[in-house]
Copies of this chain bind each other. A is one copy, B any other.
Amino acid sequence: MSAAEETPGAEDVPWGEVTPEAARRLLVAAVEAFAERGYHATTTRDIAGRAGMSPAALYIHYKTKEELLHRISRIGHDKALEILRAAADGEGPAAERLADAVRSFVRWHAERHTTARVVQYELDALGPEHRAEIVELRRESDATVRRIIDEGVAAGEFEVPDVSGTTVAVLSLCIDVSRWFNTQGRRTPDEVGALYADLVLRMVGAQK
C-alpha cells in the first residue's frame, strides 16, 4: 500500500479534514473526553492518554487546550450550518424544506450526540475571539431557519404569529436532542428526526 496517501475519501469520514493522523486522533479523543466530563474537567493528560500519546505530544499539534476546543467547535458548527442550508436551499414547498431541515439537523444531533454536546454546550469555555466567531455561525443558522418559516408564511402554508420566537423554539428543540439522546435508548436517530419534523410542522400550523 502507498504510504504517502492522506485520508482517502476524506469528505464523509467524520473528522477527515483534520490532518495529520496524530492530530485527528487527539481531536477525536478530546471530543470524547469533553463530552463525557466537560471541557474544564478534562485534563490534557486524559486527552493524550486516550490518543495513546504522552501529554507533551498534544502541544506539537495544538498550541493550547482551548485551540482544540475551538477546532472541534468550528468544524461542528460548519457542518451543522451546511446541513440546514442544504435543506433550506432545496426545492418544493416550505413545509417540505422545514421538515427536511429539522429531520436532518435532529438526526445529526442524535447520531453524533457526542460531538454535538461539545459543540453546543461548551461555547462559554472558548476565549472571547473564538467565541465571537462561533456566535456568528449560530446567527447564520438562526437566519437560515427563519427564512424557511418566513417563506412558508408568505406562501400561506404556515400560520405563525411570532416568527422569530418560533425560530428560536425550533432550533432550541433540535439542539437539546444532543443533551438527552442516548445510543442505548429506545429510539433511533431516524425515528427522533421523523417525530421532531412532525412536531415542528404542527408548531408552524402547516396543514397536514
Contacts and interface: CB of A to CB of B under 8 A. Distances in A.
Interface of A: 37-38, 40-41, 121, 124-125, 161-162, 165-166, 168-169, 172-173, 175-177, 179-180, 187, 192, 195-196, 198-199, 202-203, 205
A173 B177 contact: no
A46 to B, nearest CB: 13
A180 B166 contact: no
A166 to B, nearest CB: 7
Nearest to A177: B172
Contact of A176 (B38, B175, B198): B175
A187 B166 CA distance: 13
Per assembly, the copies of the chain total 2
Given A121-B121, A203-B202, A38 B37 contact: no
A166 B199 contact: yes
Contact of A169 (B125, B162, B168, B196): B196
Contacts of A168: 180
Contacts of A187: 165
Nearest to A208: B205
B124 A38 contact: yes
A169 B109 CA distance: 14
Contacts of A176: 172-173, 175-176
Contact of A172 (B161, B165, B180, B205): B180
A162 B194 CA distance: 11
17 contacts: A37-B40, A40-B40, A40-B41, A41-B125, A121-B179, A161-B198, A162-B195, A165-B192, A165-B195, A166-B195, A168-B180, A169-B199, A172-B179, A172-B180, A173-B176, A176-B176, A202-B202
